[in-house]
Structure 1
Amino acid sequence: MNHHLLPPLALTLATGTVLPVLLARGNWAHHAPRLAICIWALLGVLFNAGLAMSAFQTLLPYRTSHTLSHLTEECLPWSAERCRPPALSVLSSLAVIDYVAVGATATILALPCATFLREAVRARRHRARHAEMLSLLGKRDQGLRATVLEHSTPAVYCLPGRTPQVIVSTGALRSLTECQLNAALEHERAHIAGRHHLMTLAVQALTAAFQPLPLARRMRHEVPLLLEMAADDRALRRCSREALALALYAMAAGQAPTATLAAGGPSAVLRVRRILTPRQVGYAVLQGLFATTALIAGVAPLFLACCSIPG
């Protein structure tokens, strides 16, 4: 067996199975949601890279892998003076299986990108249909900078994209005080400003591509909740904790349309408890930075060892 396969295989197994479970169990993530989102994104990138490199080393003949390890060794930072591009004789001697290995690697790397584009097109269609409906049934309120839609259920949500807009139901206008309504609007504007719909699409793409894995299942559950918490934190810069908590509680039963982001929903009760509970954000950030450092320190040697182990 090609021993260069072991490092990327270990990276794939760690990022696809073990590390997502540990990250999901960490209490610090809900206190530092933006940092946790970055770590989830890093896990997704590392898993895809590890899987592609595993396929590459599995299909690559030992002779080519050995040549590649020497080229990589010469281009490491401590030996960069010996780094030279591969000679034409090396490229011309590649066999069909070498090109198959490169093609398989490119396919695996492109798979999440293809599913992301598919999900983006699908979400854009949903948003276009909903925007058309809003143009017929909704009424623009310049004071609120939002579209008012006749509906008895209290709901505030945003329609992201190139022409984003915030939608408020008449039920929300009747149920919420002015401070509570402003808090809910700030939450939705935080979603738009942070382009949270793009991260949601990325999670959907990874889930569609690697659905059976713990990484995909945990991301599908954790990242949308973290995005809501990140929007809550940004909204709290302009409103009080009590106003946002009461607004979320009032809209907990609301359901947003497909391809939108809502202030209420099933996670509202958990987020209300988080907003009203005193937090040690600095300590949570330190824990998150420690976890990130440990992750990078653990996977960097695997990347270096993948193609540079001699023999």
Structure 2
Amino acid sequence: MITTVVLAVYAFLAGAVVPAPLSRARWTHRSPVLSVLAWQGLMVTFVVATMLAVYHLVLTEQHAHAGLVGLLTLCGLAADATVGGAVPTLSDTPAPVAAAAVVLLPVVRLARCAWRAHRARLRHLDLLALVGEPAPEHGATVVDHHVPAVYCLPGRYRRVVVTRGALDVLSEEQLRAVLEHERAHLRGRHHLPRLWTDAFSRAFPGLPLARHAEEQTALLVEMIADDRALRSHARETLATAMYAVAAGRVPRAALGAGGAGALIRLGRILAPQPRPRRLTRLGVLAATATAPLLPLLVACGH
């Protein structure tokens, strides 16, 4: 029973207590790549801790005292192993099933979100085939629309899209800057962490971690793309280009240079802050790597 309480408290901390201060931490916007890893690690930690807490709550006979081998045996992952000479009986079945359900819930949601995003991208590609014009000199597709917007469609059939309004208001250098921003999204596969946070929020609606992770990840991947574009373009150029396309709306399955969080990103670009100290970065990496493992140590420590 103590193990169950400890695991439940650990899951509560990961899912309800830590997200708010992490979203307000000063270092997150100064190191967006590390921040995305931290949010992903926190979500994995919540799933692992919740799974093990449910497992120990449902389990009526404590066969798990033989450590990790016993836990794997009860979960059906080590069918030939025995726990203290005892073979799991039918009375143990609800425990691994309930624990597996906690893991399968976000996995199923992830598959559904991935399929929906894929279908949405295919529909938009069909639309672009009708209304878009190839622009080889920009490596993009131009759409005749008066609102300035630049975005990309990730995935297998990746595409960068520019509206005619954006071509009218952006200089050549500004256009190259926002195009580099979009190509950074495609090269970095930034749609994948956003897809995972979307699935997690659908699997655990109302959970503070789900809400904060989705909001922060969407902002952080844009910051990552900003940093990539700044390697080859001036800050003022990227900032003015972002301002010009900030009001442009993009499809849900796409990633755009403007949109929500543009004001925060503009301030970050024009007033850059130093990266977190090496000790801070190492501490965050260590915490991200060990946090999902601690519930396993608690559950299998015997």
Same fold (TM over 0.5): yes
Aligned 8 A contact 1:24 1:218 in 2: yes
After superposition, give the CA deviation of every residue in 1:25-77 in whole Å (9 maximum; x if it has no partner): 1011001000000000000111001111011000112332xxx22344999xx
Q: Does 1:87 align with 2:82?
A: yes
After superposition, give the CA deviation of every residue in 1:102-133 in whole Å (9 maximum; x if it has no partner): 11111111111100110111111111111000
Q: Report the equivalent of 1:305.
A: 298
Q: Report the equivalent of 1:293.
A: 286
Structure-to-structure mapping, 1:30-179, within 5 angstroms: 30-64=29-63, 68-72=64-68, 86-87=81-82, 90=85, 93-179=87-173
Q: Report the equivalent of 2:12.
A: 13
Q: Report the equivalent of 1:232.
A: 226
- CA 1:206–1:73 in 2, change beyond 3 Å: closer, same or farther? closer
Which structure: greater helix fraction? 1
* Runs of 5+ unmatched residues, structure 2: 72-79
Residue type of the partner of 2:116?
R
Residue type of the partner of 1:87?
T
Q: Residues of 2 paired with 1:35 and 1:159: CA distance?
A: 24
After superposition, give the CA deviation of every residue in 1:224-259 in whole Å (9 maximum; x if it has no partner): 000100110111112111111011011111111120
Residue type of the partner of 1:193?
R
- For normalisation by structure 1, the TM-score amounts to 0.89
Structure 1 consecutive aligned stretches of length 4 or more whose deviation exceeds 4 Å: 88-91, 294-302
Q: Look up the SS of the partner of 1:114 in the other structure.
A: helix
Q: Residues of 1 paired with 2:270 and 2:118: CA distance?
A: 36
Aligned 8 A contact 2:66 2:83 in 1: no
* Runs of 5+ unmatched residues, structure 1: 76-84
Q: 1:14 deviation in Å?
A: 1.2
Number of residue equivalences:
294
Q: Percent identity?
A: 38
Q: Look up the SS of the partner of 1:28 in the other structure.
A: coil
Structure-to-structure mapping, 1:21-32, within 5 angstroms: 21-32=20-31
- For normalisation by structure 2, the TM-score amounts to 0.91
Aligned 8 A contact 1:149 1:167 in 2: yes
Q: Look up the SS of the partner of 1:162 in the other structure.
A: coil
Q: Look up the SS of the partner of 1:158 in the other structure.
A: strand
Q: Report the equivalent of 2:235.
A: 241
Computed over aligned residues only, the root mean square deviation of the Cα atoms, in angstroms, reads 2.1
